[in-house]
Structure 1
Amino acid sequence: MRKRVVTNIISAGFGKFASKRFHPILQKFINSSYIKLLGLDMSEFKEARDYKSLNELFTRELIKKRDIDYQEDSIISPTDSLITECGKLKKDKSLQIKGMEYSIDSLLIECKENLNKIYDGDFINFYLSPKDYHRYHVPCDMQILKVIHVPGKLYPVNLRYLKKKINLFIENERVILECKNKEDRLFYIVLVGALNVGQMTLVFEKRVETNKNRELSIYKYNNLWMNKGELLGYFKMGSTVVMLFEKNSVKLDVRPGQNVKFGQKVAKWIKD
Protein backbone atom coordinates (compact mmCIF):
# COMPACT_ATOMS: atom_id res chain seq x y z
CA MET A 1 0.00 0.00 0.00
CA ARG A 2 1.44 3.37 -1.05
CA LYS A 3 1.19 6.33 1.32
CA ARG A 4 -0.54 9.47 0.15
CA VAL A 5 1.56 12.63 0.02
CA VAL A 6 0.46 16.20 0.71
CA THR A 7 -0.21 17.04 -2.94
CA ASN A 8 -2.52 14.03 -3.27
CA ILE A 9 -4.45 15.11 -0.18
CA ILE A 10 -4.72 18.67 -1.50
CA SER A 11 -5.93 17.33 -4.84
CA ALA A 12 -8.55 15.13 -3.17
CA GLY A 13 -9.77 18.09 -1.11
CA PHE A 14 -9.98 20.35 -4.13
CA GLY A 15 -11.79 17.57 -5.98
CA LYS A 16 -14.50 17.49 -3.30
CA PHE A 17 -14.97 21.25 -3.58
CA ALA A 18 -15.07 21.10 -7.38
CA SER A 19 -17.64 18.28 -7.30
CA LYS A 20 -19.97 20.10 -4.91
CA ARG A 21 -23.13 21.59 -6.38
CA PHE A 22 -23.76 24.98 -4.81
CA HIS A 23 -26.91 27.09 -5.04
CA PRO A 24 -27.37 28.05 -8.72
CA ILE A 25 -26.65 31.74 -8.06
CA LEU A 26 -23.44 30.95 -6.16
CA GLN A 27 -22.43 28.28 -8.69
CA LYS A 28 -22.87 30.72 -11.57
CA PHE A 29 -20.62 33.19 -9.70
CA ILE A 30 -17.96 30.49 -9.09
CA ASN A 31 -18.06 29.36 -12.73
CA SER A 32 -18.00 32.90 -14.13
CA SER A 33 -15.11 33.84 -11.83
CA TYR A 34 -13.10 30.80 -12.95
CA ILE A 35 -13.76 31.58 -16.61
CA LYS A 36 -12.70 35.21 -16.16
CA LEU A 37 -9.66 34.40 -14.00
CA LEU A 38 -8.18 31.94 -16.48
CA GLY A 39 -9.44 33.60 -19.64
CA LEU A 40 -11.37 30.59 -20.93
CA ASP A 41 -12.66 30.73 -24.49
CA MET A 42 -16.24 29.45 -24.16
CA SER A 43 -17.24 29.90 -27.80
CA GLU A 44 -17.43 26.11 -28.33
CA PHE A 45 -19.19 25.35 -25.05
CA LYS A 46 -22.34 26.03 -23.04
CA GLU A 47 -22.64 29.15 -20.91
CA ALA A 48 -21.30 29.35 -17.34
CA ARG A 49 -24.75 29.04 -15.76
CA ASP A 50 -25.34 25.68 -17.45
CA TYR A 51 -22.67 23.85 -15.38
CA LYS A 52 -23.91 22.64 -11.99
CA SER A 53 -20.44 22.21 -10.49
CA LEU A 54 -16.90 23.34 -11.18
CA ASN A 55 -16.08 19.79 -12.28
CA GLU A 56 -18.81 19.95 -14.92
CA LEU A 57 -17.13 23.10 -16.21
CA PHE A 58 -13.65 21.51 -16.09
CA THR A 59 -14.85 18.48 -18.06
CA ARG A 60 -17.10 20.47 -20.40
CA GLU A 61 -18.21 18.87 -23.65
CA LEU A 62 -17.80 20.52 -27.04
CA ILE A 63 -21.11 21.66 -28.49
CA LYS A 64 -19.57 22.67 -31.82
CA LYS A 65 -18.20 20.00 -34.14
CA ARG A 66 -14.43 20.06 -34.62
CA ASP A 67 -12.66 19.61 -37.93
CA ILE A 68 -10.84 16.26 -37.64
CA ASP A 69 -8.15 15.04 -40.00
CA TYR A 70 -9.58 11.68 -41.05
CA GLN A 71 -6.84 10.81 -43.55
CA GLU A 72 -5.97 7.16 -43.07
CA ASP A 73 -2.30 7.78 -42.27
CA SER A 74 -2.82 10.80 -39.99
CA ILE A 75 -2.47 10.84 -36.20
CA ILE A 76 -4.44 13.65 -34.60
CA SER A 77 -3.85 15.53 -31.37
CA PRO A 78 -5.90 13.86 -28.64
CA THR A 79 -6.20 17.17 -26.77
CA ASP A 80 -6.15 20.94 -26.86
CA SER A 81 -2.67 21.53 -25.49
CA LEU A 82 0.85 22.91 -25.70
CA ILE A 83 3.59 20.69 -27.13
CA THR A 84 6.18 21.00 -24.36
CA GLU A 85 8.61 18.59 -26.05
CA CYS A 86 8.73 16.10 -28.92
CA GLY A 87 11.22 14.28 -31.10
CA LYS A 88 13.28 11.09 -31.15
CA LEU A 89 14.03 8.86 -28.20
CA LYS A 90 17.70 8.10 -27.56
CA LYS A 91 17.29 4.36 -27.06
CA ASP A 92 15.16 4.35 -23.86
CA LYS A 93 15.62 8.05 -23.03
CA SER A 94 12.86 10.61 -23.57
CA LEU A 95 12.73 14.32 -22.77
CA GLN A 96 10.53 15.69 -20.02
CA ILE A 97 11.60 19.09 -21.32
CA LYS A 98 14.73 20.28 -23.12
CA GLY A 99 17.82 19.22 -21.18
CA MET A 100 15.97 16.92 -18.77
CA GLU A 101 15.85 13.22 -19.69
CA TYR A 102 13.99 10.31 -18.12
CA SER A 103 13.81 6.60 -18.86
CA ILE A 104 10.75 5.13 -20.55
CA ASP A 105 11.68 1.83 -18.87
CA SER A 106 10.63 3.49 -15.61
CA LEU A 107 7.63 5.27 -17.13
CA LEU A 108 6.08 2.22 -18.79
CA ILE A 109 5.77 -0.14 -15.86
CA GLU A 110 4.47 -3.64 -16.72
CA CYS A 111 5.22 -3.18 -20.45
CA LYS A 112 8.72 -4.68 -20.48
CA GLU A 113 8.04 -7.31 -23.15
CA ASN A 114 7.48 -4.65 -25.84
CA LEU A 115 9.78 -1.83 -24.78
CA ASN A 116 12.55 -2.68 -27.24
CA LYS A 117 10.13 -1.78 -30.07
CA ILE A 118 9.83 1.74 -28.66
CA TYR A 119 13.58 2.32 -28.23
CA ASP A 120 14.78 5.05 -30.64
CA GLY A 121 11.16 5.77 -31.56
CA ASP A 122 9.30 9.08 -31.43
CA PHE A 123 7.46 10.91 -28.67
CA ILE A 124 5.16 13.89 -28.12
CA ASN A 125 4.33 15.55 -24.79
CA PHE A 126 0.97 17.38 -24.67
CA TYR A 127 0.45 19.77 -21.73
CA LEU A 128 -3.12 20.79 -20.87
CA SER A 129 -3.29 23.97 -18.82
CA PRO A 130 -6.24 24.57 -16.45
CA LYS A 131 -7.87 26.77 -19.12
CA ASP A 132 -7.79 24.09 -21.84
CA TYR A 133 -10.55 21.73 -22.95
CA HIS A 134 -9.98 18.81 -20.55
CA ARG A 135 -11.23 15.86 -22.60
CA TYR A 136 -8.91 13.54 -24.51
CA HIS A 137 -9.79 11.65 -27.67
CA VAL A 138 -8.60 8.71 -29.74
CA PRO A 139 -5.65 9.85 -31.94
CA CYS A 140 -6.09 7.15 -34.63
CA ASP A 141 -8.05 3.96 -35.24
CA MET A 142 -6.53 1.71 -32.59
CA GLN A 143 -6.74 -1.49 -30.60
CA ILE A 144 -6.28 -1.16 -26.85
CA LEU A 145 -4.32 -4.13 -25.54
CA LYS A 146 -3.72 -3.19 -21.95
CA VAL A 147 -4.30 -0.45 -19.35
CA ILE A 148 -1.99 -0.01 -16.37
CA HIS A 149 -2.91 2.32 -13.51
CA VAL A 150 0.22 3.36 -11.62
CA PRO A 151 -0.51 5.20 -8.34
CA GLY A 152 1.93 7.97 -7.47
CA LYS A 153 2.35 11.58 -6.43
CA LEU A 154 0.53 14.57 -7.87
CA TYR A 155 3.13 17.25 -8.46
CA PRO A 156 2.25 20.15 -10.79
CA VAL A 157 3.18 19.55 -14.44
CA ASN A 158 3.40 23.17 -15.62
CA LEU A 159 6.51 24.47 -17.40
CA ARG A 160 8.09 25.84 -14.24
CA TYR A 161 7.84 22.46 -12.49
CA LEU A 162 8.90 20.51 -15.58
CA LYS A 163 12.16 22.46 -15.60
CA LYS A 164 13.08 21.77 -11.98
CA LYS A 165 11.56 18.44 -10.95
CA ILE A 166 13.58 15.43 -12.18
CA ASN A 167 11.58 12.34 -13.19
CA LEU A 168 8.28 14.18 -12.78
CA PHE A 169 6.36 11.91 -15.17
CA ILE A 170 7.75 8.83 -13.43
CA GLU A 171 6.88 9.98 -9.91
CA ASN A 172 3.38 11.22 -10.73
CA GLU A 173 0.32 9.01 -10.85
CA ARG A 174 -0.39 7.84 -14.39
CA VAL A 175 -2.57 5.65 -16.57
CA ILE A 176 -0.80 3.82 -19.41
CA LEU A 177 -2.59 2.57 -22.53
CA GLU A 178 -0.74 0.00 -24.64
CA CYS A 179 -2.12 0.21 -28.20
CA LYS A 180 -1.66 -0.88 -31.79
CA ASN A 181 -2.87 0.64 -35.04
CA LYS A 182 -4.43 -1.35 -37.88
CA GLU A 183 -0.95 -2.24 -39.19
CA ASP A 184 0.10 -3.61 -35.76
CA ARG A 185 2.43 -0.68 -35.06
CA LEU A 186 2.85 -0.36 -31.31
CA PHE A 187 2.37 2.92 -29.42
CA TYR A 188 1.58 4.13 -25.92
CA ILE A 189 -0.68 6.84 -24.55
CA VAL A 190 0.29 7.89 -21.02
CA LEU A 191 -2.10 10.06 -19.01
CA VAL A 192 -0.10 11.84 -16.31
CA GLY A 193 -1.83 13.13 -13.18
CA ALA A 194 -1.01 16.49 -11.59
CA LEU A 195 -1.82 18.73 -8.64
CA ASN A 196 -5.60 19.20 -8.40
CA VAL A 197 -6.18 16.49 -11.01
CA GLY A 198 -8.26 14.38 -8.68
CA GLN A 199 -9.34 11.99 -11.39
CA MET A 200 -8.36 10.68 -14.80
CA THR A 201 -11.16 8.74 -16.44
CA LEU A 202 -11.48 6.24 -19.28
CA VAL A 203 -14.88 5.84 -20.92
CA PHE A 204 -14.33 2.12 -21.51
CA GLU A 205 -12.84 1.20 -18.10
CA LYS A 206 -14.73 2.30 -15.00
CA ARG A 207 -12.48 0.27 -12.66
CA VAL A 208 -9.67 2.82 -13.01
CA GLU A 209 -10.01 5.17 -10.02
CA THR A 210 -7.13 7.61 -9.77
CA ASN A 211 -6.07 9.37 -6.54
CA LYS A 212 -8.18 6.81 -4.72
CA ASN A 213 -7.03 3.25 -5.46
CA ARG A 214 -3.42 3.08 -4.23
CA GLU A 215 -2.53 -0.32 -5.72
CA LEU A 216 -1.04 -0.84 -9.17
CA SER A 217 -3.72 -2.34 -11.42
CA ILE A 218 -3.58 -3.98 -14.85
CA TYR A 219 -6.49 -4.55 -17.23
CA LYS A 220 -6.14 -6.59 -20.46
CA TYR A 221 -8.46 -6.73 -23.47
CA ASN A 222 -8.88 -9.18 -26.33
CA ASN A 223 -10.68 -7.20 -29.04
CA LEU A 224 -11.17 -3.61 -27.88
CA TRP A 225 -11.09 -1.19 -30.82
CA MET A 226 -11.77 2.55 -30.85
CA ASN A 227 -12.03 4.93 -33.78
CA LYS A 228 -10.17 8.16 -34.44
CA GLY A 229 -11.84 11.12 -32.75
CA GLU A 230 -13.90 9.12 -30.27
CA LEU A 231 -13.95 10.31 -26.66
CA LEU A 232 -11.35 8.46 -24.60
CA GLY A 233 -11.85 10.18 -21.24
CA TYR A 234 -11.08 13.38 -19.38
CA PHE A 235 -8.92 15.05 -16.76
CA LYS A 236 -10.40 16.98 -13.88
CA MET A 237 -8.14 20.07 -14.23
CA GLY A 238 -5.15 20.30 -16.57
CA SER A 239 -2.38 17.75 -16.95
CA THR A 240 -0.20 15.97 -19.54
CA VAL A 241 -0.57 13.28 -22.19
CA VAL A 242 2.57 11.54 -23.45
CA MET A 243 2.54 9.55 -26.68
CA LEU A 244 5.37 7.13 -27.52
CA PHE A 245 5.66 5.41 -30.89
CA GLU A 246 7.41 2.32 -32.23
CA LYS A 247 10.73 2.99 -33.97
CA ASN A 248 10.45 4.09 -37.61
CA SER A 249 6.65 4.05 -37.51
CA VAL A 250 5.75 7.76 -37.60
CA LYS A 251 6.81 11.13 -38.92
CA LEU A 252 6.07 13.98 -36.51
CA ASP A 253 4.39 17.15 -37.75
CA VAL A 254 4.74 19.34 -34.63
CA ARG A 255 7.46 21.23 -32.80
CA PRO A 256 8.12 22.15 -29.14
CA GLY A 257 6.25 25.28 -28.09
CA GLN A 258 3.43 24.76 -30.58
CA ASN A 259 -0.21 24.98 -29.48
CA VAL A 260 -2.44 22.28 -30.98
CA LYS A 261 -6.14 21.50 -31.00
CA PHE A 262 -7.93 18.18 -30.73
CA GLY A 263 -8.50 16.92 -34.28
CA GLN A 264 -5.40 18.57 -35.72
CA LYS A 265 -2.80 16.35 -37.44
CA VAL A 266 0.35 15.99 -35.32
CA ALA A 267 2.02 13.03 -37.08
CA LYS A 268 1.50 10.43 -39.77
CA TRP A 269 2.15 6.70 -40.00
CA ILE A 270 5.02 5.66 -42.22
CA LYS A 271 3.98 2.93 -44.63
CA ASP A 272 6.24 -0.15 -44.85
Structure 2
Amino acid sequence: MRGLISRIFGFVAAVKFPRFVQTFINEKYVSGFKIDMSEFKQPKEYESLTALFTRELQRPRNFDVSPQAFISPSDGTCLELGVSKELKAISVKGHEYGIAELLGDSMDRSERDAELEYVNIYLSPRDYHRYHAPCDMRILSALYVPGELYSVAVSALLKVPNLYAKNERVVLKCKLASGKKMWLVFVGALNVGKMKFDFDARIQTNACAGNVALYEYENLSAKKGEQLGMFELGSTILILSEQGAVKFDLTAEQKLKYGDKIGTIN
Protein backbone atom coordinates (compact mmCIF):
# COMPACT_ATOMS: atom_id res chain seq x y z
CA MET A 1 0.00 0.00 0.00
CA ARG A 2 2.82 2.44 0.88
CA GLY A 3 4.41 1.74 -2.51
CA LEU A 4 1.11 2.47 -4.25
CA ILE A 5 0.71 5.71 -2.27
CA SER A 6 4.21 6.76 -3.26
CA ARG A 7 3.57 5.98 -6.94
CA ILE A 8 0.32 7.99 -6.86
CA PHE A 9 2.08 10.88 -5.12
CA GLY A 10 4.86 10.71 -7.70
CA PHE A 11 2.33 10.82 -10.53
CA VAL A 12 0.56 13.87 -9.08
CA ALA A 13 3.85 15.63 -8.28
CA ALA A 14 4.94 15.21 -11.91
CA VAL A 15 1.76 16.84 -13.28
CA LYS A 16 2.39 20.19 -14.95
CA PHE A 17 -0.51 22.39 -13.88
CA PRO A 18 -1.34 25.70 -15.59
CA ARG A 19 1.38 28.23 -14.85
CA PHE A 20 -0.53 30.29 -12.26
CA VAL A 21 -1.71 27.15 -10.43
CA GLN A 22 1.79 25.63 -10.42
CA THR A 23 3.30 28.88 -9.17
CA PHE A 24 0.80 28.93 -6.29
CA ILE A 25 1.57 25.29 -5.40
CA ASN A 26 5.32 25.83 -5.56
CA GLU A 27 5.27 29.00 -3.48
CA LYS A 28 3.09 27.35 -0.82
CA TYR A 29 5.46 24.39 -0.67
CA VAL A 30 8.52 26.64 -0.36
CA SER A 31 6.97 28.81 2.34
CA GLY A 32 5.43 25.85 4.19
CA PHE A 33 8.77 24.06 4.51
CA LYS A 34 10.79 27.29 4.84
CA ILE A 35 13.07 26.39 1.94
CA ASP A 36 16.05 28.64 1.27
CA MET A 37 15.93 29.22 -2.50
CA SER A 38 18.98 31.50 -2.69
CA GLU A 39 20.98 28.86 -4.61
CA PHE A 40 18.14 27.92 -6.95
CA LYS A 41 15.71 29.34 -9.49
CA GLN A 42 12.62 31.13 -8.27
CA PRO A 43 9.69 28.82 -7.35
CA LYS A 44 7.62 30.04 -10.30
CA GLU A 45 10.21 28.70 -12.74
CA TYR A 46 9.63 25.02 -11.87
CA GLU A 47 7.02 23.34 -14.06
CA SER A 48 6.02 20.68 -11.51
CA LEU A 49 6.51 19.75 -7.87
CA THR A 50 8.92 17.02 -8.96
CA ALA A 51 11.02 19.62 -10.75
CA LEU A 52 11.06 21.70 -7.56
CA PHE A 53 11.94 18.70 -5.35
CA THR A 54 14.85 17.78 -7.61
CA ARG A 55 16.00 21.34 -8.20
CA GLU A 56 19.54 21.83 -9.45
CA LEU A 57 22.05 24.21 -7.92
CA GLN A 58 22.48 27.31 -10.05
CA ARG A 59 26.14 27.63 -9.08
CA PRO A 60 28.55 24.84 -8.10
CA ARG A 61 29.32 24.71 -4.40
CA ASN A 62 32.90 25.10 -3.32
CA PHE A 63 34.42 22.26 -1.32
CA ASP A 64 37.83 21.10 -0.14
CA VAL A 65 39.45 19.51 -3.20
CA SER A 66 42.37 17.94 -1.34
CA PRO A 67 42.42 14.14 -1.81
CA GLN A 68 42.06 13.49 1.94
CA ALA A 69 38.94 15.62 2.43
CA PHE A 70 35.71 13.60 2.72
CA ILE A 71 32.60 15.69 2.05
CA SER A 72 28.92 15.33 2.78
CA PRO A 73 27.21 13.71 -0.23
CA SER A 74 24.01 15.69 0.36
CA ASP A 75 22.20 18.30 2.37
CA GLY A 76 20.53 16.98 5.51
CA THR A 77 20.97 16.28 9.20
CA CYS A 78 23.34 13.76 10.75
CA LEU A 79 21.06 11.61 12.92
CA GLU A 80 23.70 9.24 14.29
CA LEU A 81 27.27 8.09 13.73
CA GLY A 82 29.62 5.62 15.31
CA VAL A 83 31.09 2.14 15.02
CA SER A 84 28.83 -0.88 14.72
CA LYS A 85 28.69 -3.44 17.51
CA GLU A 86 27.82 -7.06 16.81
CA LEU A 87 27.15 -5.97 13.23
CA LYS A 88 24.43 -3.55 14.31
CA ALA A 89 24.38 0.23 13.94
CA ILE A 90 22.21 2.88 15.58
CA SER A 91 19.52 4.59 13.50
CA VAL A 92 18.49 7.11 16.16
CA LYS A 93 18.27 7.25 19.96
CA GLY A 94 19.48 3.70 20.55
CA HIS A 95 17.33 2.01 17.91
CA GLU A 96 19.35 -0.47 15.85
CA TYR A 97 19.51 -1.81 12.31
CA GLY A 98 21.36 -4.90 11.10
CA ILE A 99 24.26 -4.23 8.76
CA ALA A 100 24.33 -7.62 7.03
CA GLU A 101 20.59 -7.40 6.31
CA LEU A 102 20.93 -3.80 5.14
CA LEU A 103 23.82 -4.40 2.73
CA GLY A 104 22.76 -7.86 1.57
CA ASP A 105 24.62 -9.31 -1.40
CA SER A 106 26.78 -6.21 -1.77
CA MET A 107 28.97 -7.71 0.97
CA ASP A 108 31.35 -10.56 0.24
CA ARG A 109 31.40 -13.42 2.71
CA SER A 110 34.80 -12.24 3.96
CA GLU A 111 33.36 -8.79 4.75
CA ARG A 112 30.36 -9.94 6.78
CA ASP A 113 32.15 -10.31 10.12
CA ALA A 114 33.83 -6.89 10.18
CA GLU A 115 32.47 -4.00 12.20
CA LEU A 116 31.92 -0.81 10.19
CA GLU A 117 31.92 2.90 10.90
CA TYR A 118 28.68 4.61 9.94
CA VAL A 119 27.01 7.99 9.43
CA ASN A 120 23.24 8.40 8.92
CA ILE A 121 22.11 11.51 7.01
CA TYR A 122 18.40 12.38 6.91
CA LEU A 123 17.11 14.60 4.09
CA SER A 124 13.95 16.51 5.00
CA PRO A 125 11.42 17.78 2.44
CA ARG A 126 13.14 21.18 2.55
CA ASP A 127 16.59 19.90 1.60
CA TYR A 128 18.39 19.82 -1.74
CA HIS A 129 17.69 16.29 -3.00
CA ARG A 130 20.58 15.49 -5.31
CA TYR A 131 23.46 13.38 -4.05
CA HIS A 132 27.13 13.44 -4.95
CA ALA A 133 30.31 11.42 -4.53
CA PRO A 134 31.86 12.24 -1.12
CA CYS A 135 35.37 11.49 -2.40
CA ASP A 136 37.19 10.08 -5.41
CA MET A 137 36.11 6.46 -5.60
CA ARG A 138 35.46 3.43 -7.76
CA ILE A 139 31.89 2.12 -7.85
CA LEU A 140 32.13 -1.67 -7.76
CA SER A 141 28.44 -2.52 -7.73
CA ALA A 142 24.90 -1.25 -7.21
CA LEU A 143 22.41 -3.47 -5.41
CA TYR A 144 18.70 -2.72 -5.66
CA VAL A 145 16.63 -4.20 -2.82
CA PRO A 146 12.83 -3.83 -2.99
CA GLY A 147 11.03 -3.32 0.28
CA GLU A 148 8.67 -1.19 2.29
CA LEU A 149 8.38 2.58 1.98
CA TYR A 150 8.02 3.61 5.60
CA SER A 151 8.63 7.23 6.46
CA VAL A 152 12.25 7.73 7.58
CA ALA A 153 11.44 10.64 9.90
CA VAL A 154 12.69 10.25 13.47
CA SER A 155 9.18 9.44 14.73
CA ALA A 156 9.01 6.45 12.35
CA LEU A 157 12.52 5.25 13.23
CA LEU A 158 11.42 5.09 16.87
CA LYS A 159 8.37 2.98 16.01
CA VAL A 160 9.58 0.54 13.34
CA PRO A 161 12.43 -1.80 14.36
CA ASN A 162 15.24 -2.23 11.80
CA LEU A 163 13.48 0.23 9.49
CA TYR A 164 16.42 0.98 7.17
CA ALA A 165 16.83 -2.73 6.41
CA LYS A 166 13.10 -3.09 5.70
CA ASN A 167 12.74 -0.16 3.31
CA GLU A 168 13.47 -0.18 -0.40
CA ARG A 169 17.08 0.85 -1.00
CA VAL A 170 20.00 1.02 -3.40
CA VAL A 171 23.42 0.06 -2.05
CA LEU A 172 26.56 1.29 -3.81
CA LYS A 173 29.70 -0.64 -2.96
CA CYS A 174 32.74 1.55 -3.49
CA LYS A 175 36.51 1.36 -3.17
CA LEU A 176 38.62 4.29 -1.98
CA ALA A 177 42.11 5.11 -3.25
CA SER A 178 43.50 3.37 -0.16
CA GLY A 179 41.79 0.13 -1.18
CA LYS A 180 39.35 0.32 1.74
CA LYS A 181 35.67 -0.38 1.05
CA MET A 182 32.73 1.94 1.60
CA TRP A 183 29.01 1.46 1.12
CA LEU A 184 26.58 4.29 0.31
CA VAL A 185 22.98 3.29 1.00
CA PHE A 186 20.13 5.33 -0.46
CA VAL A 187 16.94 4.52 1.43
CA GLY A 188 13.51 5.05 -0.08
CA ALA A 189 10.63 6.41 2.00
CA LEU A 190 6.92 7.19 1.88
CA ASN A 191 6.38 9.49 -1.12
CA VAL A 192 10.05 8.96 -2.03
CA GLY A 193 10.06 5.58 -3.72
CA LYS A 194 11.66 7.10 -6.77
CA MET A 195 15.45 7.33 -6.83
CA LYS A 196 17.50 7.99 -9.94
CA PHE A 197 21.15 7.23 -10.62
CA ASP A 198 22.98 9.14 -13.33
CA PHE A 199 25.45 6.36 -14.12
CA ASP A 200 22.95 3.52 -14.68
CA ALA A 201 19.41 3.95 -15.99
CA ARG A 202 18.72 0.25 -15.35
CA ILE A 203 18.27 0.90 -11.64
CA GLN A 204 14.48 1.21 -11.32
CA THR A 205 13.05 1.94 -7.87
CA ASN A 206 9.46 1.74 -6.59
CA ALA A 207 8.55 -0.56 -9.47
CA CYS A 208 5.26 -2.45 -9.35
CA ALA A 209 7.01 -5.82 -9.25
CA GLY A 210 10.55 -5.17 -8.13
CA ASN A 211 13.11 -7.94 -7.63
CA VAL A 212 16.54 -7.82 -6.07
CA ALA A 213 19.03 -6.78 -8.76
CA LEU A 214 22.82 -6.57 -8.59
CA TYR A 215 24.72 -4.51 -11.16
CA GLU A 216 28.50 -4.89 -11.22
CA TYR A 217 30.93 -2.50 -12.87
CA GLU A 218 34.41 -3.01 -14.28
CA ASN A 219 35.74 0.52 -14.66
CA LEU A 220 33.25 2.94 -13.14
CA SER A 221 34.80 5.83 -11.22
CA ALA A 222 33.35 8.97 -9.67
CA LYS A 223 35.20 12.13 -8.78
CA LYS A 224 34.53 13.94 -5.52
CA GLY A 225 31.50 16.20 -5.97
CA GLU A 226 30.27 14.40 -9.09
CA GLN A 227 26.50 14.03 -9.10
CA LEU A 228 25.41 10.42 -8.56
CA GLY A 229 21.64 10.91 -8.73
CA MET A 230 18.62 12.25 -6.88
CA PHE A 231 15.69 11.49 -4.59
CA GLU A 232 12.30 12.77 -5.65
CA LEU A 233 11.63 14.12 -2.11
CA GLY A 234 13.35 13.64 1.27
CA SER A 235 14.94 10.43 2.48
CA THR A 236 18.13 9.03 4.02
CA ILE A 237 21.70 8.29 2.98
CA LEU A 238 23.77 5.91 5.09
CA ILE A 239 27.56 5.92 4.81
CA LEU A 240 29.29 2.76 6.04
CA SER A 241 33.03 2.25 5.75
CA GLU A 242 35.63 -0.25 6.82
CA GLN A 243 37.27 0.81 10.04
CA GLY A 244 40.19 3.14 9.50
CA ALA A 245 39.08 4.20 6.02
CA VAL A 246 37.72 7.60 7.08
CA LYS A 247 38.11 9.60 10.27
CA PHE A 248 34.69 11.22 10.56
CA ASP A 249 34.48 14.67 12.11
CA LEU A 250 30.86 15.61 12.78
CA THR A 251 28.27 15.22 15.52
CA ALA A 252 24.75 13.84 15.83
CA GLU A 253 22.05 16.39 14.95
CA GLN A 254 24.56 18.47 12.96
CA LYS A 255 23.03 20.23 9.95
CA LEU A 256 24.89 19.48 6.75
CA LYS A 257 25.23 20.89 3.28
CA TYR A 258 26.51 18.94 0.32
CA GLY A 259 30.20 19.83 0.11
CA ASP A 260 30.79 20.31 3.85
CA LYS A 261 33.92 18.50 4.99
CA ILE A 262 32.78 15.76 7.38
CA GLY A 263 35.91 13.64 7.59
CA THR A 264 39.45 12.86 6.54
CA ILE A 265 40.45 9.87 4.44
CA ASN A 266 43.28 7.91 6.04
* TM-score, length of structure 2 as denominator length: 0.97
- Equivalent pair of 1:117/1:186 in contact (CA under 8 Å): no
Q: 1:114 to 1:190 in 2, by over 3 A?
A: farther
Q: What are the ranges of 5 or more consecutive residues in structure 1 without an aligned counterpart? A: 1-5
Q: Does 1:130 align with 2:129?
A: no
User: Structure 1 residue aligned with 2:216, among 220, 223, 226?
Assistant: 220
Q: Does 1:240 align with 2:230?
A: no
Q: Secondary structure at the match of 1:146?
A: strand
Report the residue type matching 1:268 in the other structure.
T
Report the residue type matching 1:12 in the other structure.
R
Cα displacement (A) at 1:150: 0.3
- Equivalent pair of 1:118/1:246 in contact (CA under 8 Å): no
Cα displacement (A) at 1:267: 1.2
Q: 1:233 to 1:114 in 2, by over 3 A?
A: farther
1:18-57 alignment, distance < 5 Å: 18-57=13-52
Cα displacement (A) at 1:121: 2.4
- Equivalent pair of 1:79/1:134 in contact (CA under 8 Å): yes
Cα displacement (A) at 1:126: 0.4
Q: Which residue of 1 aligns with 2:178?
A: 183
Q: Which residue of 1 aligns with 2:158?
A: 163
- Equivalent pair of 2:100/2:112 in contact (CA under 8 Å): no
Q: Which residue of 1 aligns with 2:198?
A: 203
Cα displacement (A) at 1:114: 5.6
Q: Which residue of 2 aligns with 1:152?
A: 147
Q: Secondary structure at the match of 2:229?
A: strand
Report the residue type matching 1:229 in the other structure.
G
Please give the alpha-carbon distance, in whole angstroms, between the structure 1 residues aligned to 2:115 and 2:150: 28
Q: Secondary structure at the match of 1:266?
A: strand
Q: What are the ranges of 5 or more consecutive residues in structure 2 without an aligned counterpart? A: none
Please give the alpha-carbon distance, in whole angstroms, between the structure 2 residues aligned to 1:8 and 1:239: 15
Report the residue type matching 2:185 in the other structure.
V
Q: Does 1:120 align with 2:115?
A: yes
- Equivalent pair of 2:106/2:171 in contact (CA under 8 Å): no
Report the residue type matching 1:218 in the other structure.
L
Q: Secondary structure at the match of 1:29?
A: helix
Please give the alpha-carbon distance, in whole angstroms, between the structure 1 residues aligned to 2:38 and 2:113: 39
- Equivalent pair of 1:89/1:119 in contact (CA under 8 Å): no
Post-superposition Cα deviations, 1:69-109, rounded to whole Å, max 9, x if no partner, equal: 21211110000010000011114111111211121010011
- Equivalent pair of 1:121/1:248 in contact (CA under 8 Å): no
Report the residue type matching 1:112 in the other structure.
M
Q: 1:115 to 1:39 in 2, by over 3 A?
A: farther
Please give the alpha-carbon distance, in whole angstroms, between the structure 2 residues aligned to 1:118 and 1:42: 45
User: Structure 1 residue aligned with 2:251, among 247, 251, 255?
Assistant: 255
Cα displacement (A) at 1:117: 7.0
Cα displacement (A) at 1:51: 0.5
Report the residue type matching 2:234 in the other structure.
G
1:88-127 alignment, distance < 5 Å: 88-113=83-108, 116=111, 119-127=114-122
- Equivalent pair of 2:106/2:141 in contact (CA under 8 Å): no
Which piece of structure 1 moves more, 86-95 or 152-161? 86-95
User: Structure 2 residue aligned with 1:172, among 167, 173, 176?
Assistant: 167
Report the residue type matching 1:168 in the other structure.
L
Deviating beyond 6 angstroms after TM superposition, the runs of 4 or more aligned structure 1 residues are: none
- Equivalent pair of 2:168/2:193 in contact (CA under 8 Å): no
- Equivalent pair of 1:90/1:119 in contact (CA under 8 Å): no
Q: Which residue of 2 aligns with 1:87?
A: 82
Q: Which residue of 2 aligns with 1:3?
A: none
Cα displacement (A) at 1:49: 1.2
